[in-house]
Chain A
């Protein structure tokens, strides 16, 4: 799936000035249960037996949800068309790790990458992109035609020598090994959003 905005009402896009619905008490959950034999509460009511917030949920009809969803999507689409956002951040999956990344960031990756120094790279597995007013959450990834993260390989070095030592007392067992890992430094040049939300 390309992005969260499409699916069925649980919009991952949220406007900052969105209006909250006034909460209605939820009745139908309790009505379905039959009467239990225990008349009192099963647990004594202490200060920590229930969370300090109230467990009320608002009920919103399906049409209302769809209209709100469409409004949010159109707002975000406008913003992306006009390229109105400021600095973008992205969560990128790279080298078996997830990195939260913006422009001009340096990333130190603890392994060897098949690219020479100075090569420009696209980081393709983007999980989330955020700006000041909206976020795009991928499920699990965002499409390549939506976001593009450009990076450059700056440096390929080795790490400082780390010492791996094992010792068992009274057994005359001792091993010492020096581990040196290859490292790569990437600079994130830019994150770009293209207006192709549906």
Chain B
């Protein structure tokens, strides 16, 4: 031991423990109970909160999409149609509006949404007409349909 003066005898720990602790506690100030004051409890709670926030940023995208789909489905059912019919026919018309915008339109612009629903319905009818045709076979084909 070579401590020749008092100032060499005293250990010099780091000077900024207080601020490091405060940096963590500031993320915990709105928590409930002792986790907003006591460092040991706050460490665990803050770590959990950060991990939940990270995971939820991915979940939020999924949840918002299901919400939009629910809203669009409800709005189309008011116009006597179903959600898959609307989306499929809008795709076939090459109208590339996404679900967020269609749900916003359904909420704030009801007439525009009605026009989109009618467009999808017309495209559906045209698809049916194209599929069913005249009820006759193409020329040169002999089958039961001709004999009826």
Binding site for B on A (CB under 8 A): 1, 4, 9-14, 16, 28-29, 31-32, 34, 51, 53, 57, 89, 91, 98-100, 127-128, 130, 132-133, 135, 137-140, 162-167, 174, 176
Binding site for A on B (CB under 8 A): 47, 50-51, 53-54, 57, 77, 80, 82, 93-98, 100-101, 104-105, 108-109, 111-112, 114-116, 118-119, 122-123, 125-126, 128, 132, 135, 144-145
Are A135 and B50 in touch, CB under 8 angstroms?
no
Are B95 and A28 in touch, CB under 8 angstroms?
no
Are A4 and B132 in touch, CB under 8 angstroms?
no
Smallest CB gap from A174: residue in B? B47
Q: A11-B119, A32-B135 are in contact. List 11 more A-B contacts (CB 8 A).
A: A10-B93, A10-B119, A12-B115, A12-B116, A29-B132, A51-B82, A57-B125, A99-B101, A100-B108, A137-B116, A140-B96
Smallest CB gap from B47: residue in A? A167
Are A9 and B122 in touch, CB under 8 angstroms?
yes
| A to B CB contacts below 8 Å, 18 in the list | A4-B119, A10-B119, A12-B115, A14-B114, A14-B115, A29-B128, A31-B135, A32-B132, A53-B80, A57-B125, A91-B97, A98-B101, A100-B101, A128-B105, A130-B109, A135-B111, A137-B95, A137-B116
